[in-house]
Structure 1
Amino acid sequence: MAERAAGPLSLPDDWPAHPDISLSLNRMGTFDWDLGRERLHLDVPALEVLDLRPDEFDGRPRTLEARVPHSEGIRLDDVIKQALKDGSEGYGSYLRIRRRDGTMRWTHIQGRIVRDADGRPCRVIGIVRDAARELVDSTARLELAAVRRVQTSVVEGTAAALAHARTVQDVIDVLNESDGLEHLGATSLVMGLLESGRIRLVAEGPDGSYVPGTRITRIDEGYPMSEVLRTLVPRFIESAEEFAASYPLLWPHISELAVNAAAYLPLIAQARPIGALGLLYRDKNGFTAEDRNLLVTLSSSIAQSLQRAMLFEQDHDLAEGLQQAMLPRRIPAVSGAEIAVRYRSARLGQEIGGDWYDVIPLPGGRVGAVIGDVQGHDTHAAAVMGQLRIVLRAYAAEGHAPATVMARASVFLHELDTDRFATCTYAEADLSTGVVQLVRAGHVDPLIRDTDGSCRRLPVPGGMPLGLSAFFGGLDYPVETIELDPGQTLLLYTDGLVEQPGADLDDGMLLLAALVRDGPRDLQLLADQLCGAVDEQGGEDDAAVLLLRRGGARSPGTGGRLQQHVGQGDPEALSTTRHMIRAAVSAWGARQRADEIELAADELITNALVHTDNGAVVVVRVLPGPERRLRVEVEDRSSALPHRREAGESGVSGRGLLLVDQLADEWGVESRGSGKCVWCEFIVPERTSR
């Protein structure tokens, strides 16, 4: 012990050290407070902690007020009073003291309360110590923990946001817009995707940081993203000097960005590299183990999201290409009409839908317009749509009536090996007269845009969706006949144009009508605007739209014209013809004579079918002239002319033409080449203007 070097502990019998020495070396002092006499003793180490000289302290507690800020003194008094009052054995508190130079320093006071025989406090003995270092260390630890929590939260939040990214651009937007880079300390990012041994840059650093020649690079070039994709090992660069030495090709182009650190990470999904991510820093002092783990975790989430996005885009492009291939490649030019069609894929919803449109040229200058939607959002729906579109076109081109076209399409879909149904609207228009026959199968009602721009809903009686009507045996599709004036536009569309999540369908239709009313007159621009509005509203369903405007000007006295072929032994065609006549009579304002017209027409049709070997062609039209007349013509291939004859008392035939003669204002027979035409006319009142 005598050989110990001279110093504070080199005292006789200095081992073990005296408590005063231990306290002093650890910047601790003692105090003894006599509560009864209000006297406070502070030893020299305690005075040093409080930055007081011995001659500056007179033993009174009030003298310490020069060192203890008022707010801190009040807080300490409250702690002491509470401990004295509630019978505590002691107390402890951190407080700041004001040093001689005016700066503040944290100290800690810990006192033991001594009580008399009656339990009253009479004395406090304790320690005062310098707590600046421990609080600095504790604060640093808390701040570091807070930073770690923020960084971990950023990684978790970014991963959650990436789970909703559907495209590669969505992934890039999440990384740029989530403030994740800022919280991770990075100033910018670069990202490249691996494609056939080359790296295609899909996101680059801040404005002005583009490096010429790096848009597409090879994996064997001397760039950091190339390196991490070759090695599949992250690369952490901790200084500008290291960056310049490691990547001389890249550094000269980014040295002006004041980058002093960077992290390049391979993006690996399912054990396959798909790209690389680079984070650039301007004020980074190396990468701790926690930093590296967080960034590797982040890169894993990004890689998984990128792979999902790339697969989604590939599948969507394939499905959309399939659907586009099944839609008409071009819309035929139709004399007397303007037509615009659009298909808007559900980029924000499912991959593909069964929506379709078609325009079908028909004999006699007529045109068929179809809009439909097959149930489902997948390639199967698109395949069913393609088949259904073809058969609808075939049935219409064969000359079948609109109701027959719809009924046969329903039977076809029912017999197809599928569990899907479809909604559809079919319109057959004679543009020379403006007569349009509409059939609706579970579809949304069409709209009419008038020449003044106003838009209204067109209620059309409907049947069941295609496939379901055949399943339930309800193949009766009512036909609505309207007359489209020159300049009026018929709007057919699918529900994706009007349905919005959480919104009522009627509200969507009102909004659509407003968009049409306020939209441009040009049909192509209007179609674009309608689809654009769906995109802005975030519609999750695909949508199709077909606009048909009748051209030309109305000729005075002109009316409509409808035609239907009725075959031998075809009761369905006969029923459709009767319905056509009934609808035409109603649409053309001849309801007062509806029973007479329908009965006379039925007699002429029955006469043709009974007395000839072939079918008949029935035409209903309105004749121009000084008085408005509705004419029914029944044409067949027999040259034998009919004549009136009296039926006997027991006769069951021969009354047909007599009945027609009584009902019609005029009737007659005309030779038509190899056949004849029997006709009858009815004077009908002028229609009131709409």
Structure 2
Amino acid sequence: MVDRAAGAPSLPDDWPAQPELSLNLNRMGSFDWDLASGLMNLDPAGHEVFDLRPGEFDGHPGSLKLRVPTDEASRLDALVSRALKSGSQHYGAYFRIRCRDGSLRWTHTQGFIRRDSAGRPLRIIGIVRDATEELADSSARLEVDAERRRQTSVVESTTAALAHARTVQEVIDVLRDSHGLEHFGATSLVMGLLESGGRIHLVADGPEGSFVPGTRYTRVDDEYPMSEVVRTLTPRFIESKRDFADSYPRLWPHIEGLGINSAVYLPLIAQGRPIGALGLLYGDRTGFSSEERNVLVALGSSIAQSLQRAVLYDQEHDLAQGLQQAMLPRRIPAVPGAQIAVRYRSARLGRDIGGDWYDVIALPGGRVGAVIGDVQGHDTHAAAVMGQLRIVLRAYAAEGHTPATVMARASVFLHELDTERFATCMYAEVDLTTGVMQLVRAGHVDPLVRDNDGGTRRLPVEGGLPLGLSAEFGRLEYPVTTVELDPGQTLLFYTDGLVEVPGADLDDGMQMLTALVRGGPRDLQLLGDQLCDVVDERSGDDDVAILLLRRKGAYTPQTGGRLQQHVAQNDPEALRSARHMIRAATGAWGARERSDEIELAADEMITNALMHTDGGAIVTIRVLSGVERRLRVEVEDRSSALPRRRDAGESGVSGRGLMLVDRLAEAWGVESRGSGKCVWCEFMIPERPKS
């Protein structure tokens, strides 16, 4: 808009003369906008409409922003751009200007677009007028204001709802719910996501029963409205049934009977690139006003931003879940004498990868190790630490270390990683022949035990500090809790995400879990699924790992029960653990009355092996079935030198070991092994009562 009298820039020679007819009497001004040069000629009456003084307008439309508020200017720019691109010959809109005194005044503009023979726009000639009197009637003004507020509310409420949508499905749910469709005024919606190779994947369709066969996947160059808007990046407003039928003859026959009268398809554009398309279908209207088009285009932009976040979230979630699954065992070994079920569910909120894990380790002699743990944090670092810790703990267990030693060494390993992370963990070694179970807990939640009749109870387990922290503070002692798992009983390990409910105490979560297990199906796989369903419904913000182990009653090897422990030289902790193993086994196998004798004899044989050989010892305790039930203790070392009985002098402190073994045991002896020898002794123990 150029005020020539005010010394505005020179205009092109072919700039048209001022309209001869003055419109001042109607408080109406005119303008002539040359699109090639970008200059606009605004007559004096137009200056008055905009409340402009000479020199305040320099012929460039941008200088009108002095009087046009930013939101109004954006709306007008979008309106003019759509009219130019769509091939329209004219446009019109009401808008407000801010007068010199700060008040707002209603104004109306109407423009006529002149195009060349090829349809390219050359210039816009139009009018602007004061619409104050036109909208002076209070009911009209209230109606306009109410509609504007409604449209603003639509944008604000939808944007606010989408802000909480994290996944693509949640975005669809926000748009689909009754309030969302009510805001849009639409009957139903369809949504497609652009995939690689120019393929559009239909991820939402409606109304129910309206899916068109062959449209689940379409291409950008297909003759469908969704393909068109992705291809052209331009909204498509279908204003009538006739428009729909003429424009999309392949699609219309399939939806003709659904009562659809009009539709709008919006390209979903994020960061300048199409990511999909949204279609809103209407059954009770035809045509779209300029205001409605503006709102829909604005909503399309907001939806696109949310959808892009959701697509990235889903991709990251899938990647995180895949990485987490890769860190977990690829398969659970089939363990004779046990039924096992494992489950893992990733977090639904926050970061979607964590340090929860489980593991099942088949051990010699009919034993099995069961592990559950949780590394601090929810990120890839936590998952990486988890993977290393799982493998190390498995290796220590497979080497034959006691549960206490396994846990202590795993803690040292984690501390030496220097990750500043700690981990809670529960480890159990179960002898499936006898049911003797040794449990060690490192800051983890207590397990549950379910009986044959469904009764479920919390199993208190003595505990130490979490892994990593116990090494840092020099408190590597992990007490062992020994119990017996009867045939048919089920052990449940889990991470705290299963029982920690936001806003509730941990005890409440434990009671809830106990009730679920008590009333759950007997089949372990079904029980695992049911527990995961509870996690999914709760949409927790923590990962969950579950391990279920049931001892079968029919598995009884000929040798009876068997436990084994490696005792290295200069490892007093391993020696204490071996003693504890022997004490626990004698109690669990019905030899409690002779436990002191058995422990003393075993201690003498172990001490003898450690003192008189260069290596460690392997301690094995087993039950021998036969005419008489016997408990056998074996101590194997790598020395071929046979032990011999010696008489101790009056002040001697050695030489009494084998004498004690001879006095305490019913039988003892020495066997040569390939790389060493085995010293053994046997004790008669009472038969187990018939159950």
Instruction: Confirm or deny a common fold (TM above 0.5).
Output: yes
Aligned length: 556
Question: Is the contact made by 1:628 and 1:686 (CA closer than 8 Å) also made in structure 2?
Answer: no
Q: Distance in 1 between matches of 2:622 and 2:214?
A: 72
Partner of 2:112: none
Give a deviation string over 1:617-636, Cα, whole Å, max 9, x none. Answer: 32334566899876544344
Partner of 1:171: 171
Quickly say closer, same or farther: Cα 1:676–1:205, change in 2 above 3 A: closer
Deviation of residue 645 (structure 1)? 4.1
Query: In the alignment, is the contact (CA less than 8 A) between 1:593 and 1:684 conserved in 2?
Result: no
**In the superposition, relative to structure 1, how do residues 204 and 553 fare at CA in structure 2: closer, same or farther (>3 Å)?**
closer
Kindly state the Cα deviation for residue 306 of structure 1 after the two structures are TM-superposed: 0.6
Check 1:563–1:251 CA distance in 2 against 1; reply closer, same or farther (3 A cut).
Answer: closer
Q: For 1:298-337, list aligned pairs within 5 A.
A: 298-337=299-338
Distance 2:239 2:555 in 1: 81
Alpha-carbon shift at residue 299 of structure 1 (Å):
1.0
Structure 1 residues 684 and 219, CA, compared in 2 at 3 Å: closer, same or farther? same
- Aligned to 1:391, the other structure's residue is in SS state helix
TM-aligned CA distance change 1:432 to 1:241, over 3 Å: same
The one-letter amino acid of 2:513's match is L
Corresponding position of 1:185: 185
Q: Deviations over 1:411-467 (max 9, x none)?
A: 221122422221111222221222222222111111111122211111111221111
Post-superposition offset of 1:687: 9.1
2:74 corresponds in structure 1 to: none
CA contact (8 A) 1:639 1:671 kept: no
2:167 counterpart of 1:157: no
* Structure 2 counterpart of 1:392: 393
Which segment drifts farther, 414-423 or 367-376?
A: 414-423
**Distance apart, 1:596 and its partner CA:** 5.1
Q: Out of 222-231 and 436-445, give the one that drifted further.
A: 222-231
What displacement does 1:555 show?
Answer: 7.6
What is the SS of the residue equivalent to 1:358? strand
Whose Rg is larger? 1
Correspondence for 1:675 among 646, 658, 677:
677
Gaps of 5+ in 2: 1-133
Cα distance, 1:148–1:399 mapped onto 2, change above 3 Å: same
1:492 lines up with 2:493 in the alignment: yes
Relative to structure 1, is the Cα distance of residues 685 and 476 closer, same or farther in structure 2, using a 3 angstrom cutoff? farther
2:375 is the counterpart of 1:374: yes
Q: Does 1:357 align with 2:358?
A: yes
Give the secondary structure class of the aligned counterpart of 1:364.
coil
State the alpha-carbon separation in 1 of the partners of residues 688 and 205 from structure 2: 72
1:1-80 → structure 2 map (5 Å cutoff): none
Maintained 8 Å contact 1:187/1:281: yes
CA deviation string 1:215-242 (max 9, x = no partner): 3222223332223222222222333333
Residues 192 and 202, structure 1, Cα contact 8 Å, conserved in 2: yes
Local SS of the residue matching 2:565: strand
Distance 1:449 1:208 in 2: 46
Shift of 1:177: 0.6
Instruction: Give the corresponding residue for 2:439.
Output: 438
In structure 2, the residue corresponding to 1:545 is in which secondary structure? strand
Q: Partners in 2 of 1:173 and 1:669 — Cα distance?
A: 76
Q: What SS does the aligned partner of 2:618 have?
A: strand
1:127-175 Cα offsets, whole Å, 9 max, x none, are xxxxxxx999534543453344334323211211111111111111111
Q: Distance between the aligned counterparts of 2:212 and 2:684, measured in 1?
A: 84
What's the offset of the Cα at 1:648?
A: 2.2
Q: CA deviation at 1:315?
A: 0.7
The aligned residue for residue 470 of structure 2 is 469
Q: Supply the AA of the counterpart residue of 2:190.
A: V
State the alpha-carbon separation in 1 of the partners of residues 532 and 507 from structure 2.
Answer: 18
Q: Distance in 2 between matches of 1:255 and 1:645?
A: 105
Q: Contact (CA 8 Å) 2:436, 2:588: kept in 1 or not?
A: no
Superposition deviation, residue 313 in structure 1: 0.7
Other-structure match for 1:247: 248
Do the aligned residues in 1 keep the contact of 2:616 with 2:637 (CA within 8 Å)?
yes
The CA distance in 1 between the partners of 2:641 and 2:227, in whole Å, is 91
Contact 1:557-1:628 at 8 Å conserved across structures: no
Using a 3 Å threshold, how does the CA distance of structure 1 residues 668 and 194 change in structure 2: closer, same or farther?
A: closer
- 1:311 is displaced (CA, Å) by 0.3
% identical equivalent positions: 76
Alpha-carbon separation, structure 2, partners of 1:247 and 1:549: 62
Partner of 1:481: 482
Partner SS state of residue 365, structure 2: helix
Change (3 A) 1:218 1:612: closer
Does the CA-based 8 Å contact 1:485-1:554 persist in structure 2? no
Q: Distance in 1 between matches of 2:556 and 2:253?
A: 78
Q: Which residue of 2 aligns with 1:617?
A: 618
Q: Which residue of 2 aligns with 1:451?
A: 452
Find out whether 1:541 has 2:542 as its counterpart: yes
For structure 1, list consecutive stretches of 5 or more residues without a partner in the other structure: 1-133
Moved more, 483-492 or 611-620: 611-620
Q: Is residue 648 of structure 1 aligned with residue 649 of structure 2?
A: yes
Q: Report if aligned partners of 2:171, 2:306 keep a CA contact under 8 Å in 1.
A: yes
**Aligned equivalents of 2:651, 2:152: Cα separation in 1:** 102
Q: What is the SS of the residue equivalent to 1:179?
A: helix
1:310 Cα deviation (Å)? 0.4
